[in-house]
Homo-oligomer: A and B are copies of this chain.
């Protein structure tokens, strides 16, 4: 398999963690999003969404959308699991994951920030404030959901990493770039620390990727 990503992409970061957790060695390739390499004809032919990541299977089939890729990896390589067994618990984990993957990240990714600056003439500071607003709104919901629930353990659900943590850790990384005050989210901070102490998360960290830049 080959993962086409970008070191700083939250969505690619999620998939890297899953591959590491499940012990899957894949070839890594990169598209430089800030240079617009996701718009090149050869990439668009692979992924008309012009987004990363894309996972190219050995069959040649191309999987897109990080959450669909995580589910695929879980179905084809179930050990160790990133979803619990009981359906209502699986729903809890997926809902936590989607707070980040649907209701934070898409609203404040590179293409949206570019629109704010180019079409609405917003300053860098006002685009940053936008980003912080959506991260904080999502993190308030995440914190409220995990803080007093007995199902929360060392990680967001129990004591092993799940899909929720795979989405949370990249979002916290991103929140730090946008100077979100993480003191407001003590449970998220605690879970994030547990994640980054885990070798599968640490090795997936953006600065440790071959395409990393300062």
Contacts and interface: CB of A to CB of B under 8 A. Distances in A.
Interface stretch (A71-79, A183-191, A201-209): A71-79
A152 interface: no
A101 interface: yes
Given A72-B90, A88-B59, A107-B112, A99 B145 contact: no
B72 A76 contact: no
B68 A98 contact: yes
A140 B90 CA distance: 32
Interface of A is mostly: helix
Q: Taking the full assembly, how many copies of this chain does it contain?
A: 2
A106 B99 contact: no
Contacts of A99: 49, 65
Contact of A65 (B59, B63, B72, B95): B95
B68 A76 contact: no
Interface in A52-74: 57, 59, 61, 63-65, 67-69, 71-72
A26 interface: no
A198 interface: no
B67 A98 contact: yes
Contact of A95 (B64, B107, B145): B64
21 contacts: A49-B99, A49-B103, A50-B141, A59-B88, A63-B91, A64-B95, A65-B102, A67-B67, A67-B98, A67-B102, A68-B90, A68-B91, A68-B92, A68-B95, A68-B97, A76-B87, A98-B102, A103-B106, A106-B106, A107-B107, A107-B112
